A and B are shown apart, each in its own frame.
Chain A
Amino acid sequence: MRFRNLTIGQHIPGNSVVHRLDPRTKILGTTLLIVLLFAVNGFIGYGLVALAIAGVIHLAKLPWRYVIRGLRPLLVILLLTVGLNVFLTEGEVIFRLWFLTITREGLARGGMMGTRLVLLIVGTSLLTLTTSPIQLTDGIESLLNPFRRLGVPAHELAMMMTIALRFIPTLLEETEKIMKAQMARGADFQSGGLMQRAKSLIPLLVPLFVSAFRRADELAIAMEARGYRGGQGRTKFRELRFGRIDAVAIALLVTFTVVVGVFF
């Protein structure tokens, strides 16, 4: 199934240094990466960022092929971005074919945008690949906590995310099961025009919603049965702990971001 290839949001359990970092460190690192990718302007800078990402993948002992394959579902967006930039940028023409012109500036810009997107996708997928959903939401909750006074419902948001993340695989599994069951009755989800295809989704979507509501209901009852009353006074089984490796990691990340961001 297509969405199986999407590595963003997937988690590969492990016990590497990267896996053991505090989720807040990793969230901060990802934020820095995003900032950096927009600050850097030039291939040397991108090369350094790529090296850093490669270093993290290596440290995390992630399978290379698997990480790279995460780009596949986004290939269309990637090609579109690069293509538009290459063909639509004005400047010194170096190649002309019928109505297509390629300019030096266009090539540079297309290459730059493409690299930026690839690094962005691969880099951000590392966060979820090395952090379990629970840790991730714990991290987000803890980072949002200071804003509680401003009325940000930190715990509730985190709980909603935990639940959503928890149920993504379940829903995918359910979708696959129902699709198979309807295919066994001769349903065809692939052929026909737009209207035809939209209509063919009814036998899939109705049972999916019915089961999602049933699950939500059961979950709510199960949570209440275990005394859930929101975040007030709730303690955690797994406390987040900011350790030495986190301090080292953050020092490295910040230094790297500042140096690369300022000089390249």
Chain B
Amino acid sequence: MSIRLENVSFRYLEDTPMETEALLDVTLEIADGEFVGIIGPTGSGKSTLIQHFNGLLLPSSGKVWVDGVDLTHKDTQLRQIRQKVGMVFQYPEHQLFGETVLEDVGFGPRNMGLAEEEVVERVRRALAYVGLDFAELKDQSPFELSGGQKRRVAIAGVLAMEPSVLILDEPTAGLDPKGREEILDEICTLHRERGITVILVTHSMEDVARLVDRLIVMDRGRVALDGTPVEVFRQAETLKELGLGLPQVTELMHELKAKGMAVDTDVLTVEAAEEEIVKALGGQR
């Protein structure tokens, strides 16, 4: 499923004194099966942008197509689009409401009108994707789980609709390092094994460097940079101006180079950095 935005602008509270321009003439296309990262300073329009991908917000001007369907057309069934484009909001555990985990995670599939057995089966699969045990948790109250578990249950609630595009708005915010790592790994697995398109909004340069194929940088409602992580992180100056940094290893390579070491700065992982440094030192460890 591809998503295409053409000259999309969006204003909050249009025609009031508090009007804010949140998106300005954004044109972009996300192809089927891509793993896209979106970064940008706070207030740059990331959350607004992703809500256009499933019709939760419709552009003030411009067009959005999902899978060839024009979302701005008045006859478009947005509910069907939202089943195909799953969206995990920031702090998704704040939207938990069910008496049991089964009820909560099954909310999406039930709204799709699936039979109860199919709903249960989907809840089982969705919980497995986020590393939770169905038999152990299904009858528990989601409110009694730990913070990390709540987050997973909430993510499972979206996965249970089995969307072909998964959008996550800062899914690891406020988690401990181990929890972050695990959730990101699970998302990565979903992308690899099920081939779903993943769009990840994040503040962590390390995460995007490690995971995504393509990186979109937002700045004051516009797309500032768009390319592979290597391409984007070459624009160190632009990123600095926006108040964004580089991944730590990339930063290190830049500094080594500035100190006169002959290393390649297009490095995004610790392993690649190690190799580069060893090479620059003449091969001896």
Contact = CB atoms under 8 A, between A and B. Distances in A.
A63 interface: yes
A206 B107 CA distance: 14
B153 to A, nearest CB: 13
Nearest to A180: B56
A183 B89 CA distance: 11
A234 interface: no
A63 B19 CA distance: 13
B276 to A, nearest CB: 42
B135 interface: no
User: How many B residues are at the interface, by size bracket?
Assistant: 20 to 34
Nearest to B143: A210
B51 A180 contact: yes
A183 B79 CA distance: 8
Given A12-B17, A203-B107, A181 B97 contact: no
Contacts of A211: 94
A182 interface: yes
Interface stretch (B80-88, B219-227, B231-239): B80-88
A177 interface: yes
A217 interface: no
Contact of B89 (A184, A202, A204): A184
Interface in B108-144: 108, 111-112, 143
Contacts of A65: 15
Interface string B69-107: 000000000010011001101001011110000000001
A187 B56 CA distance: 12
Nearest to B97: A206
Contacts of A202: 97
Interface residues of A, number: 23
Contacts of A203: 95, 97, 107
Contact of B13 (A4, A181, A207): A4
A186 interface: yes
Contacts of B111: 185-188
Contact of B82 (A12, A178, A184): A184
B58 to A, nearest CB: 13
A52 to B, nearest CB: 23
Contact of B157 (A183, A185, A206, A210): A185
A181 B143 contact: no
A66 B79 contact: no
Contacts of B92: 181
B183 interface: no
B89 A186 contact: no
Contacts of B36: none
Contacts of A185: 82, 107-108, 111, 157-158, 161
B95 A182 contact: yes
B56 A183 contact: yes
A230 B51 CA distance: 43
Contact of B54 (A177, A184, A206): A184
Interface in A23-71: 63, 65-66
B56 A207 contact: no
B16 interface: yes
Contacts of B143: 210
Considering the complex of A and B, which 5 residue pairs feature the smallest CB-CB distances, nearest first?
Answer: A186-B111, A206-B97, A185-B108, A181-B95, A184-B87
26 contacts: A12-B17, A63-B17, A65-B15, A66-B17, A177-B89, A177-B94, A178-B94, A180-B51, A181-B87, A181-B89, A181-B92, A181-B94, A182-B95, A183-B56, A183-B82, A184-B158, A185-B107, A185-B158, A186-B83, A187-B107, A187-B111, A203-B107, A204-B97, A207-B94, A210-B96, A211-B94
Interface of B: 13, 15-17, 51, 54, 56, 79, 82-83, 86-87, 89, 92, 94-97, 107-108, 111-112, 143, 157-158, 161
Interface of A: 4, 12, 63, 65-66, 177-178, 180-188, 202-204, 206-207, 210-211
